[in-house]
Amino acid sequence: MGRLAILAWAFLGLLLLSADAQPQRRVALVIGNGTYAEAGTLANPVNDALDIADKLRSIGFEVIEGNDLGKRELERSIGAFSDALQGAGAGLFY
């Protein structure tokens, strides 16, 4: 697990500790881009994103996720996340 994933887990722990007693809708956008036309392929981003998305779902987050997205797909995912944040108690971007 990379440093970024460890930091994400730490942030997630802090988020859970600060959650209030009333359950509120929580939304997350999880993006794992590891394939780049000019820079080649990275080994961990997609695997890390899949793990984070699974964990977030297991603790009640609605997860919008995408892996190896192009510009248009990324923009669509961000738009869907923005829409989903309406009325949500918390939003998380990974």
User: What amino acid is encoded at 74 in this protein?
Assistant: L
Question: What number does CATH give the domain 3-93?
Answer: 3.40.50.1460
Burial class of residue 38, CB neighbours in 10 A (0-12, 13-18, 19+):
exposed
Tell me the pTM: 0.74
Residues counted in the chain:
94
Query: pLDDT tens-digit profile of 22-80?
Result: 568 999 999 999 998 888 888 899 999 999 999 999 999 999 999 999 999 999 999 99
Per-domain residue ranges of the chain: 3-93
- CB neighbours (10 Å) of residue 1? 11
